Amino acid sequence: MALSGEVCIPCLQTGLSDKDYEQTLKNYLKYMDEDIKAPDKIYQDRLAICSRCEFLRNGMCRLCGCFAALRAAKIHNYCADTPVRW
Protein backbone atom coordinates (compact mmCIF):
# COMPACT_ATOMS: atom_id res chain seq x y z
CA MET A 1 0.00 0.00 0.00
CA ALA A 2 1.87 3.05 -1.21
CA LEU A 3 0.68 6.41 -0.02
CA SER A 4 3.49 8.48 -1.45
CA GLY A 5 3.16 11.00 -4.25
CA GLU A 6 0.42 13.60 -4.43
CA VAL A 7 -1.03 14.84 -1.17
CA CYS A 8 -4.59 13.96 -0.23
CA ILE A 9 -6.31 17.01 1.30
CA PRO A 10 -8.38 15.01 3.86
CA CYS A 11 -5.17 13.29 4.93
CA LEU A 12 -3.55 16.64 5.62
CA GLN A 13 -6.37 17.50 8.00
CA THR A 14 -5.48 14.61 10.30
CA GLY A 15 -2.19 16.23 11.29
CA LEU A 16 -0.36 12.92 10.78
CA SER A 17 2.77 12.56 8.70
CA ASP A 18 2.56 10.36 5.60
CA LYS A 19 4.44 7.63 7.46
CA ASP A 20 2.15 7.82 10.51
CA TYR A 21 -0.97 7.83 8.34
CA GLU A 22 0.25 4.79 6.43
CA GLN A 23 0.92 3.01 9.72
CA THR A 24 -2.59 3.88 10.92
CA LEU A 25 -4.06 2.31 7.78
CA LYS A 26 -1.91 -0.80 8.17
CA ASN A 27 -3.00 -1.14 11.81
CA TYR A 28 -6.64 -0.82 10.76
CA LEU A 29 -6.19 -3.67 8.29
CA LYS A 30 -4.30 -5.79 10.81
CA TYR A 31 -6.92 -5.45 13.54
CA MET A 32 -10.06 -5.48 11.38
CA ASP A 33 -12.83 -7.68 12.77
CA GLU A 34 -12.67 -11.12 11.20
CA ASP A 35 -16.41 -11.17 10.51
CA ILE A 36 -16.07 -8.32 7.98
CA LYS A 37 -12.62 -9.15 6.65
CA ALA A 38 -12.19 -10.70 3.20
CA PRO A 39 -10.17 -13.93 3.10
CA ASP A 40 -6.54 -13.25 2.16
CA LYS A 41 -6.84 -14.84 -1.31
CA ILE A 42 -9.82 -12.65 -2.20
CA TYR A 43 -8.07 -9.58 -0.76
CA GLN A 44 -4.90 -10.22 -2.78
CA ASP A 45 -6.91 -10.86 -5.96
CA ARG A 46 -8.79 -7.60 -5.48
CA LEU A 47 -5.58 -5.65 -4.91
CA ALA A 48 -4.07 -7.16 -8.05
CA ILE A 49 -7.08 -6.00 -10.07
CA CYS A 50 -6.92 -2.53 -8.51
CA SER A 51 -3.19 -2.26 -9.23
CA ARG A 52 -3.93 -2.50 -12.97
CA CYS A 53 -6.82 -0.03 -12.89
CA GLU A 54 -6.51 3.36 -14.56
CA PHE A 55 -8.54 4.94 -11.75
CA LEU A 56 -6.03 4.03 -9.02
CA ARG A 57 -3.78 6.89 -8.00
CA ASN A 58 -1.45 6.83 -4.99
CA GLY A 59 -3.46 4.03 -3.41
CA MET A 60 -6.78 5.83 -3.83
CA CYS A 61 -9.64 5.07 -6.18
CA ARG A 62 -10.53 8.15 -8.23
CA LEU A 63 -14.06 6.81 -8.76
CA CYS A 64 -15.13 6.63 -5.13
CA GLY A 65 -12.28 8.29 -3.21
CA CYS A 66 -11.52 5.30 -1.00
CA PHE A 67 -8.18 3.76 -0.17
CA ALA A 68 -8.27 0.68 -2.39
CA ALA A 69 -6.54 -1.48 0.22
CA LEU A 70 -9.26 -0.69 2.77
CA ARG A 71 -12.15 -1.18 0.36
CA ALA A 72 -10.74 -4.50 -0.86
CA ALA A 73 -10.25 -5.73 2.72
CA LYS A 74 -13.96 -5.78 3.59
CA ILE A 75 -15.76 -8.83 2.25
CA HIS A 76 -19.06 -7.04 1.55
CA ASN A 77 -17.43 -4.27 -0.52
CA TYR A 78 -17.16 -4.25 -4.28
CA CYS A 79 -15.35 -2.27 -6.97
CA ALA A 80 -16.82 1.19 -7.67
CA ASP A 81 -16.42 0.86 -11.44
CA THR A 82 -19.33 0.09 -13.77
CA PRO A 83 -19.33 -2.77 -14.45
CA VAL A 84 -17.60 -3.81 -11.28
CA ARG A 85 -14.18 -5.43 -11.66
CA TRP A 86 -14.44 -7.44 -8.44
Provide the mean pLDDT of the chain. 86
Q: What is the pLDDT of residue 43?
A: 97
Answer yes or no: is 4 within a domain.
Answer: no
Answer whether residue 85 is part of any domain.
no
Domain that includes residue 19, residue range: 9-73
Interval 40-48 mean pLDDT: 97
| Cβ-contact 48, 40 below 8 angstroms | no
Number of domains present in the structure of the chain: 1
Asked whether residue 52 is domain-assigned, the answer is yes
Residue 1 lies in a domain: no
Any idea what the Cα angle at residue 34 is, between residues 29 and 63, rounded to 5°?
A: 50
19 within domain boundaries? yes
86 in a domain, yes or no? Answer: no
How far is Cα 31 from Cα 11, in angstroms, rounded to an integer?
A: 21
pLDDT at 58: 86
* 40 belongs to a structural domain: yes
Distance CA 72, CA 86 (A): 9
Q: What is the pTM of this model?
A: 0.77
